[in-house]
Chains A and B, each alone.
Chain A
Amino acid sequence: MAKTVDQYFDELQQTRVWRSIFRSGAGSSTLKRALAIQQNVFLHLFSTKVRTRVLSVSATWYLGTLTLGTFMILVATGIPLMLYYHPSAPQAYADTKDLQFVVSSGMFLRNLHRWSAHAMVFLVFAHMFKVFYRGAYRTPREFNWVIGVVLLLMTLLLSYTGYLLPWDQLAYWAITVGSNIASAVPVVGDKIHFLLLGGNAVNANALLRFYVLHCMILPLAAIFFVAIHFWRIRKDGGLYSHASEPATLRAAAKDAAAVTEAQ
């Protein structure tokens, strides 16, 4: 008798190698499924149990998840782009053009990176509007809102630093204007401008600094804050569900009491 795919999978889950990797073991009991989340280094940030209605599209429109999705696309396309890009003034522009017209799939990777960046900025804003208008920032989620604002700034800074890297006229003048806006900060504005650019004007130092910020410092910082953001979702009682808010529950209880009295 032929075995089904499920049976093969069950057998695989019983093997010593599988059990050495996944400690929770096989089985579909509630406990086993909860352990599979809790004992996984990536998934343990999330709640072990989630109500199905919170996972419906209408609850969140998946905006946060989609934002993470675009971020992962950006990492996955950004790293291969780094293999052909030299962050030096004589080469940066030519490398960008090579990526478009010479490197196999270079155009695809560059455009995917670019459109994902635009999508991420849009999704972050959409996510924040959704959270704001649903009141999901309220107690006990205030701190996670603050982390979210930090992540918004990270997203904008990643976008801004990536803007310079093609090293064309648009990039040059955009960063000239943007860094001059930074000079408007009271007292320390000119210092920030100087440190950001590594000089008085947008030149080779600025290109290298923006490259390091774009490819190392900001992504690592973003990953750090994303981890806190997700962990706080669990700690603050899971994804925001209007139906399980204390006020909604109190109102429901009141209604129920009123109905009982009327009877």
Chain B
Amino acid sequence: MAEEKKGELGNELSRRQFFTKLGLGSLSIAAVGTAAFSYQYLEPNVLYEPSPVVNAGKPDRYPLDSVTLDVNNGIYIIHSQEGYFSLSAVCTHLGCLTTWKQELGIIACPCHGSKFEQSGKKIEGPAPRPLPWKRVWLNDDGDLLVDRSTDVPALARDSFVRV
């Protein structure tokens, strides 16, 4: 019976089939649209997070051969023989804040025991990568600025600031 109702070409839709397909098609498009809008809604467009650029103050605050942890910004300011540089203090394992162990001369993470050299190089522990170097430069006032969102090559000549 159903086949007899089909047109001569045999591939025509009945009115009911057409409206069923139209309805389901519309619902599918609406569902995809809803999913897309929901995803967009869940992703914040504006973040009220602190600026990635940190003003670390005058370079002479940091004595030669010192490692200074900025707890609030999660960075080290290190004044070495080659100049000033900045390391991320956030462990590359699971994001804990590392600390400088003056007596051992290493950077250590309290969470899972990763250890790093003063240059950020990994000594041991679960951390998969060395601590990244961050871009540092001097502004017009002579303040040391650190951009936490920009990694620079470790130990590269341009990664230091010399005063």
On chain A, the residues within 8 Å of B63 by CB distance are none
> How far apart are the CA atoms of A195 and B44 in the complex, in Å?
8
Q: Is the interface of B mostly helix, strand, loop or mixed?
A: loop
Interfacial chain B residues near A180, Cβ < 8 Å? 93-95
Dominant secondary structure at the A interface = helix
B96 interfacial by beta-carbon distance below 8 Å: yes
**Which range contains the number of B residues in contact with the other chain?**
10 to 19
User: Is B104 an interface position by the 8 A CB rule?
Assistant: no
B47: which of A177, A181, A200 is its contact (CB, 8 Å)?
A200
* Interface residues contributed by chain A, number (CB under 8 Å): 15
**Are the CB atoms of B96 and A176 closer together than 8 Å?**
yes
Residues of A within 8 A of B95 (CB): 176-177, 179-180
Residues of B16-43 at the interface with A, using a CB-CB cut-off of 8 Å, are 42-43
Q: A173-B111, A180-B94 are in contact. Are A203 and B49 (CB under 8 A)?
A: yes
| In the complex with contacts A199-B49, A200-B47, A204-B48, A173-B42 CB distance below 8 A | no
Residues of A within 8 A of B48 (CB): 204
**Chain B 77-104 interface mask (CB, 8 Å, partner A; 1/0):** 0000000000000000111100000000
Q: Is A228 an interface residue (CB 8 A)?
A: no
Annotate A176-220 by CB proximity to B: 1 below 8 A, 0 otherwise.
110111000000000000110011110111000000000000000
Interface positions, chain A 81-108, Cβ under 8 Å from B, are none
Chain A's closest residue to B49 (CB) is A199
Most buried by B among A180, A199, A200: A180
